[in-house]
């Protein structure tokens, strides 16, 4: 929603998503997993860092374009 409200287009919008997803994963790693993700994830590398990156992409694009269209209309 923030990317659409900010009017980000193309690569800046995807960069916003990438930074936001990696920041969220880093916060989970540092604050919730106590820097030991192997206790909570079966495969920490793919599940924690890369898993959410591709799973949430379609929802991000749909919400991004919806809010962008509403703000710019």
The Cβ-side half-sphere exposure at 24, using a 13 Å CA radius, reads: 12
Entry pTM: 0.76
Q: How confident is the model at residue 69 (pLDDT cuts 50, 70, 90)?
A: very high
Report the percent of the chain where pLDDT is more than 70: 93
Q: Per-residue pLDDT tens for 12-46? A: 989 999 999 889 888 888 887 777 777 777 776 66
Predicted pLDDT at 68:
92
Q: Per-residue pLDDT tens for 52-68? A: 778 888 899 999 999 99
């Amino acid at each position: 929603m923030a990317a659409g409200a900010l009017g980000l287009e193309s690569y800046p919008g995807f960069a916003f998503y990438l930074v936001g997803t990696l920041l969220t994963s880093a916060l989970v790693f540092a604050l919730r997993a106590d820097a030991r993700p192997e206790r909570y994830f079966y495969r920490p590398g793919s599940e924690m860092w890369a898993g959410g990156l591709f799973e949430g992409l379609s929802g991000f694009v749909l919400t991004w374009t919806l809010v962008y269209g509403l703000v710019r209309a």
